Amino acid sequence: MTELLIPPLETDAPPRTPGRYRFGAPPWLLVLAALCAATAAIPLVYLVVRTTEAGLTELLDTLMRQRVLQLTVNTVLLAAAVTLSCLVLGTVCAWILTRIRLPFQRTLLLVSALPLAVPSYLAAYGWLVWFPHLNGFWASWFVMTMVCTPYVTLPVAAALRGASADLESVARTLGRGPLRAFAAATWPQIRPAAIAGALLVCLYSLSDFGLVSMLRFQTLTWGINAAYGASFDRNQAALLALVLVVLALVVVAGERHSRRQVSSVPGRSTMPARAPGRTWPVYVTVLLAAPLAGVVVPVVGLLTRLLEAETLRAIDVPRLVEAIGATLGLALAAAVIAVLVALPIAALAARYRGRLVAVIEAVGFLGHALPGIVVGLSLVFFALAAVPMFYQTSLVLVFAYVVLFMPRAIGSVRSGIAAVPTSLGDVSRMLGLSPFQAWWRVTARLALPGIAIGALLVAISAMKELPATLLLRPTGISTLATELWSRTALFEFGAAAPYAAALVLVAMVPAVLLSGIRGTAREN
């Protein structure tokens, strides 16, 4: 379960192992990886092509429209507010988790990571069940903050645990008080992690569609969907998507930049946790705020609705089963294809260095920066223009999942491969194996857990994906997420409950599998 709770932040900062080859990558691998990475670039490239087709003047005209400006301001405001509140709450939670000796520390850490497992629109649905009239900026801000806080808590807690306490002790002996010593000595050590986490929050709130739509706060993602739905103005949808992508890319660039600044300070000792005394309820309350608001309230709301007699009677079993089947099938296909496409990129990135390798890897990670609704929209255009026979087929939808979630696959497959020492490959070559045999019998065999984790992460994400699914699903096919969304949009909270519950249960399958994956080294 813990693997599931680790945000993508961890997986895309790979350990740079010394086990790399000093010589350049073989050309065939470079070409293959470049081709795979290129698929990830299709949505963005096509979106740019599509918008520029409209012409620059029209572009600027639309851009300056009142409506577009309003949506952009809303989006930025929400993202900024959520980022700020997550940064504060997350840092405080991380500090409590590492510096205060509370009972059940590991459990508390796990619990504070829980909101990551709940899709934002599910949390919004859960709150709507309790308060059907909840809507607007403050509601969106509150629920989004509760859902996103772990993206700050987890990396900051990790950084705090790794931060050297020596510096803080030195600052204390030089006459600083506890708070000033923390600010002077420890904050600089955890700042990169905090900022990287905060920017991740920013990216998520920019890209979020389900939560803001359900809580009726009009952001760019909502606007894109609305403009697309009003099919006479698809140019405006494309343009809004472009604005959103630019915002997202700026945030991602900032996140990458801040992550590079992580530097380790020598010193092994860590700050001892201190006993909380009589103030412990305060600490526990702060810690549990996000899990309570982000998980417990929605899930309890969902369950009460589900167990109402009226709901149980009204469950459309065949339709529910069909949605479960569609969700599982699509997720499985996406997982398999995403891992296959990620494999060459991950193998390249794990073993070789160089500018070209870095570019290929970065392009593979593009999906990380692209909001789901943008990928969905762009692929609608792309399918209509380039491969009309595939428009409205599952193929395009699976492709969207692959683009969106390939970064997760690349991340874990790469760490899996990088963990296999290159000397094992050398040894197998010297013992008579061809490069492919050595790869198959040794490297792939040992990297298998990483590959499987990558596939499961993609599957989980694909099951919960909403906006791209809404745009791309073939007529007549509904997933659990789209069923939940369409019912909630019509205020049919009771009818939505079975789908929400099924989604939670189905998404637990890969999570349980994940917790079962162990290393493959022989252990007696």
Partner 1 sequence: MGWVAIEALSVSYGDTRVLDDVSLRIPRGSLVAVLGPSGCGKTTLLRAVAGLLPVASGTITVGGRLVTGPGVQRAPEKRGMGWVPQDASLFPHLSVGENIGFGLPRTKQNDDLYCEPGETSGGVGGLLAGLTRRGRVARAPVRVSAPSSHLAAAPISPDRSRQTSRAARITELATLVGLTELVDRAPSQLSGGQAQRVSLARALAPRPDLMLLDEPFAALDPLLRSALRTEVAALLRGQHNTSLLVTHDQEEALSLADFVAVMRGGEILQFGTPADVYERPVDPWVAGFVGDTVELDGHWRDGRVECALGSLAADWMGVQSRSERSSGGPMGERGAASAPADGTSVRVLLRPEWLTLGARGSAQPTTDAVVTAIAYAGHDALVSFALADAEKTAVRARIAAPDLPRVGDRVTLGICQNALAYPLE
Q: List residues binding partner 1 (CB under 8 A).
A: 22-23, 421, 423-424, 426-437, 442, 445-446, 520-524
As measured in angstroms, the least distance from the Cβ of 114 to partner 1 is 34
CB closer to partner 1, 2 vs 437: 437
Q: How far is the CB of 14 from partner 1 (least distance, A)?
A: 20
Minimum CB–partner distance for residue 435 and partner 1 (Å): 8
- Residue 33, token pair as written in the block: 């990886």
DSSP summary character for residue 439: I
First to last CA, the chain: 24
Q: What is the DSSP track for 241-297?
A: HHHHHHHHHHHHHHHHHHHHT--PPS----PPPB--GGGHHHHHHHHHHHHIIIIIH
**What is the sign of the dihedral through the CA atoms of 438, 439, 443 and 445?**
negative
Q: Which is nearer to partner 1, 292 or 433 (CB)?
A: 433
Rounded to whole angstroms, the Cα distance separating 219 from 485 reads 17
> Least Å distance between CB 190 and partner 1?
35
Report the residue number, 93 or 438, with the smaller CB distance to partner 1. Answer: 438
CA triple 10-11-15, angle to 5 deg = 85
Residue 518 C-beta: closest distance to partner 1, Å: 12
Q: Which is nearer to partner 1, 309 or 521 (CB)?
A: 521
CA 70 – CA 359 distance, rounded (Å):
35
**Shortest gap between Cβ of 523 and partner 1 (angstroms)?**
6
Sequential DSSP letters for 222-236: HHHHHHHHSGGGHHH
Query: Given the complex with partner 1, which of 196 and 417 has the nearer CB atom?
Result: 417
306: left (phi over 0), alpha (psi -120 to 50) or beta: alpha
**Selection from 470, 468, 307, 497 nearest residue 399 by Cα:** 468
Is residue 336 within 8 Å of residue 459, measured between CB atoms? no
Minimum distance from residue 356 beta carbon to partner 1 (Å): 14
Q: Which of 320, 433 has the CB closer to partner 1?
A: 433
| Nearer of residues 21 and 491 to partner 1, judged by Cβ | 21
Minimum CB distance to partner 1, residue 442 (Å): 6
Find all residues with CB under 8 Å of 426, minimum gap 6, and list them: none
Smallest distance, partner 1 to C-beta of residue 354, A? 10
What is the spatial distance between Cα 127 and Cα 425, in angstroms, rounded to a whole number? 53
Sign of the torsion formed by the C-alpha atoms of 336, 341, 345 and 347: positive
Q: From CA 228, how far away is CA 213, in angstroms rounded?
A: 14
To the nearest whole angstrom, how small is the minimum distance from the Cβ of residue 52 to partner 1? 40
Smallest separation (angstroms) from partner 1 to the CB of 522: 4
Of 278, 103, 82, 94, nearest to 182 (Cα)?
A: 94
Stated length of the chain: 524
Give the nearer residue to partner 1 in terms of CB position, either 133 or 522. Answer: 522
Which one, 53 or 426, has the nearer CB to partner 1? Answer: 426
CB of 426 to partner 1, least distance (A): 5
Return the closest-CA partner of residue 331 out of 71, 508, 209, 175.
508
Nearer to partner 1, 438 or 471 (CB): 438
Q: How far apart are CA 37 and CA 360, in angstroms?
A: 6
266-272 contact pairs (CB < 8 A, 24+): 266/164, 267/164, 267/165, 267/166, 267/167, 268/164, 269/164, 269/165, 269/166, 270/161, 270/162, 270/163, 270/164, 270/165, 271/98, 271/99, 271/163, 271/165, 271/168, 271/186, 272/165
Question: How far is Cα 274 from Cα 165, in angstroms, rounded to an integer?
Answer: 13
Closer residue to partner 1 (CB): 268 or 522: 522
For partner 1, give the closer residue by CB, 257 or 441.
441
| CB-CB contact of 211 with 371 (8 Å) | no
